[in-house]
């Protein structure tokens, strides 16, 4: 039975972790940043050195092909991949694992001449973490990006996608060219750390993802009146921040009480304007995120959250602006890919369980154009999106071998 080189994979994980490395561990490597572009250059060299055809598309997606040098319907490819961008102060495995294990699997297949009828490819999808818009590269590849919005796409700090891409040598006006021809992908499977505690707590080494949560992100701004913070009597103030604060607490209660037990919510971006100590805030703005595996529950929560924002504003004599940013629906993983993963686990003698993904992934876009699925390995302590995110070396090796054998089954 063929297996990956765990030591080669580990040394690549350590090498990639050097780009954007933080002094205390972890990494900050947002898409299109100098650190990210250095990592991209390193990755393309590694893919080529592994004997793969290597190319980068107009959306910045990096590919390594085995028996493939471009996507076309004439030779549908079995695709794997993930991303090499990270959240700020993130870990070294979120995304990197799936890309480097995909590279390792393809290199192993090439070296051992393992039979595969279909061509194979590994992708590093651009801006999965969505600094400028979530799952950008895979969304573009799958024809799901609203091209009329590209000019307006920007990070929460205001930096425009068009400018960030230009700095990295890409022309955002040409991203449409990155869309894959229909029928070009025969199947997609992505290896990722779970990023939560379920596998570790169950003591099960492999998770087979059956669906991926939908995400709603909405910018909610409470608009009141700037006033002198010392002289304005308390009852006359129309404080935008207090509107946002009351909304934040009540929106959490709403999701916990009415989210069906699986929905979650977060407010990770908050801004107060003008933002000085001696002015009553005229404006309190936040980005409210909700996620869940059930589309109807999520849509209902969205309606109730909007009603809540309006009622908080009314009582506090504020205006409210509600601007939807993202609304993805939960995506189902293909039964065929789940069965291939099950079979790979049996071949390797590994226990597995089915679970939904509580994080967003590029696989949810691929699921719109092909049979897509995901393999999870346990995350230490369930930690992710933090600098001490990690998984055991053995867990990584197991995951990479399951990926290898799943790819061979899908390409047979
Ligand atoms: C991707 O990391 C996400 O936010 O789920
Ligand atoms: Mn992530
Ligand atoms: Mn990820």
> pLDDT tens digit string along 28-84?
999 999 999 999 999 999 999 999 999 999 999 999 999 999 999 899 999 999 999
Fold of 214-328: Alpha-Beta Plaits (3.30.70)
pLDDT in tens, 104-135: 999 999 999 999 999 999 999 999 999 999 89
CATH superfamily of 6-213+330-411: Zn peptidases (3.40.630.10)
pLDDT in tens, 367-392: 999 999 999 999 999 999 999 999 99
Indicate the helix (H) or strand (E) that contains 299: helix 295-315
Cis peptide before 236 (omega within 30 of 0): no
Q: What percent of the chain has pLDDT over 90?
A: 98
pLDDT band at 14 (very low <50, low <70, confident <90, very high): very high
pLDDT in tens, 233-274: 999 999 999 999 999 999 999 999 999 999 999 999 999 999
Q: Is 358 in the pocket of ligand 1 (CB under 6 A)?
A: no
The full set of domain ranges for the chain reads 6-213+330-411, 214-328
Which residue(s) pair with 220 in the sheet? 286, 322
Q: What is the dihedral of CA 113, 118, 123, 125, to 10 degrees?
A: -170
Residue 325, C-beta contacts closer than 8 angstroms, at least 6 positions apart = 217, 218, 219, 287
Residue 255 has what DSSP assignment?
Answer: H
Taking the centre of ligand 1 as the mean of its atom positions, its distance from the CA of residue 163, in whole angstroms, is: 23
Predicted confidence at residue 276, as pLDDT, reads 98
d(CA 148, CA 188) in angstroms, rounded, equals 27
Taking the centre of ligand 2 as the mean of its atom positions, its distance from the CA of residue 137, in whole angstroms, is: 14
- The alpha-carbon radius of gyration of the chain (Å, integer) is 22
Q: Is 362 in the pocket of ligand 1 (CB under 6 A)?
A: no
At 40, is the secondary structure helix, strand, or coil? helix
Predicted confidence at residue 326, as pLDDT, reads 87
Predicted confidence at residue 145, as pLDDT, reads 95
Nearest to residue 267, comparing CAs of 246, 282, 296? 246
The answer to whether 365 and 398 are in contact (CB under 8 A) is no
Ligand 1 pocket test, pick from 94, 133, 360 with the greatest ligand atom count within 8 Å of Cβ, gives: 360
């Amino acid at each position: 039975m063929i297996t990956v080189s765990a030591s080669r994979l580990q040394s690549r994980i350590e090498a990639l972790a050097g780009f954007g490395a933080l002094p205390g561990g972890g990494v900050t490597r947002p898409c299109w940043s100098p650190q990210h572009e250095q990592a991209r250059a390193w990755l393309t060299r590694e893919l080529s050195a592994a004997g793969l055809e290597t190319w980068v598309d107009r959306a910045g997606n990096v590919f390594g092909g085995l028996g493939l040098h471009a996507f076309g319907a004439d030779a549908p490819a079995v695709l794997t991949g993930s991303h090499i961008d990270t959240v700020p102060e993130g870990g070294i495995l979120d995304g990197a694992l799936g890309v480097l294990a995909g590279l390792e699997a393809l290199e192993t297949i090439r070296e051992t001449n393992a039979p595969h009828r279909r061509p194979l490819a590994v992708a590093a999808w651009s801006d999965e973490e969505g600094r400028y818009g979530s799952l950008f590269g895979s969304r573009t590849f799958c024809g799901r990006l609203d091209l009329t919005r590209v000019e307006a796409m920007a990070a929460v700090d205001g930096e425009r996608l068009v400018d960030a891409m230009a700095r990295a040598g890409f022309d955002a006006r040409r991203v449409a060219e990155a869309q894959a021809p229909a029928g070009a992908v025969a199947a997609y499977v992505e290896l990722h750390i779970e990023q939560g505690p379920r596998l570790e707590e169950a003591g099960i080494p492999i998770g087979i993802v059956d669906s991926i949560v939908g995400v709603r992100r909405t910018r909610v701004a409470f608009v009141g009146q700037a006033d002198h913070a010392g002289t304005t009597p308390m009852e006359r103030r129309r404080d935008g921040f207090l509107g946002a604060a009351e909304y934040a607490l009540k929106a959490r209660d709403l999701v916990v009480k009415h989210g069906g037990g699986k929905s979650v919510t977060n407010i990770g971006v908050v801004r107060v304007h003008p933002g000085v100590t001696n002015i009553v805030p005229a404006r309190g703005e936040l980005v409210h995120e909700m996620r869940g595996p059930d589309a109807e529950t999520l849509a209902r929560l969205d309606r109730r959250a909007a009603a809540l924002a309006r009622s908080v504003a009314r009582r506090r004599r504020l205006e409210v602006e509600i601007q939807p940013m993202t609304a993805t629906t939960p995506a189902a993983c293909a039964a065929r890919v789940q069965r291939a993963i099950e079979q790979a686990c049996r071949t390797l003698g590994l226990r597995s369980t089915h679970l939904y993904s509580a994080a967003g992934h590029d696989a949810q876009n691929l699921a719109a154009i092909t049979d897509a699925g995901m393999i999870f390995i346990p995350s230490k302590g369930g930690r992710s999106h933090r600098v001490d995110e990690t998984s055991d070396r053995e867990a990584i090796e197991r995951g990479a071998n399951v990926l290898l054998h799943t790819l061979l089954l899908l390409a047979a």
